[in-house]
Amino acid sequence: MKRSTAVPSGAAARAACAAVVMVSGTLVLGSCSSVGSPGGGSGTPSAPTRVESREEALARTDRVQDHVRELTGLERDPWSKLVGYYRCQGRGLGVADEGEAYQLSSGVLLKAEDDKRPEVLRALREKLAGEGFKITSLASGSDAQSTAPTWEFDAVHEPDGYTVSAGASKPGQGVSVMVVLSCQAPPTGAASPTPTATG
């Protein structure tokens, strides 16, 4: 399979995050009025970077999230997990159908006191940069009353084609970590079971 150099953008991750509300470990589809629908939209279609079942892709994002958790030393909130399989760039908007190429977005919350979050995020950014991630700082308007995450940075791991976005969640909910995989192709002729969100 031809390998694309396209790496998922943090903007896609944030759009996906805005489209799903995490409530006690359950996914609730929400509105995207201010961000737009999640998924690839228009443009040149992304070529899948690898063949991977949805289950395998989710396991990969879990490993990345576990690594980020280890780097921060924080505990994961067991009641929050976001999982979305969206259409790849240039393949339309919305959720990818079974058997269709997809871009996986998976987010979790890490427990941190509000006043500790800036230092946690600064240290995480430095550690990821030290591991070779390409870091892009994002405009952060740290509004203490915000009901959505304030994304601080995107960290792109080009060799494996994924992006880690991190930022402060709403007050009292710690640090948000979103992992977005580049465009994936499901195995030919194999229907992947859709994983459920669990803590």
Residues 6+ apart with CB under 8 A from 39: 86, 87, 91, 92, 93, 94, 95, 96, 103
pLDDT band at 43 (very low <50, low <70, confident <90, very high): low
As given in the structure block, the two tokens for residue 70 are 């280890």
d(CA 115, CA 111): 12
Per the prediction, the chain carries an average pLDDT of: 78
Task: Please tell me the predicted confidence (pLDDT) of residue 48.
Answer: 85
Q: Which of 102, 118, 113, 124 is nearest to 177 (CA)?
A: 124
Q: Which of 42, 9, 12, 15 is nearest to 31 (CA)?
A: 15
Q: What is the pLDDT of residues 158-185, one digit of tens each?
A: 999 999 999 998 899 999 999 999 999 9
d(CA 181, CA 170): 24
Q: What is the pLDDT of residues 46-104, one digit of tens each?
A: 788 889 999 999 999 999 999 999 999 999 999 999 999 999 988 888 999 999 999 99
**Terminal CA-CA length for the chain:** 34
- Contact by Cβ (8 Å): 47, 166: no
This prediction's pTM: 0.74
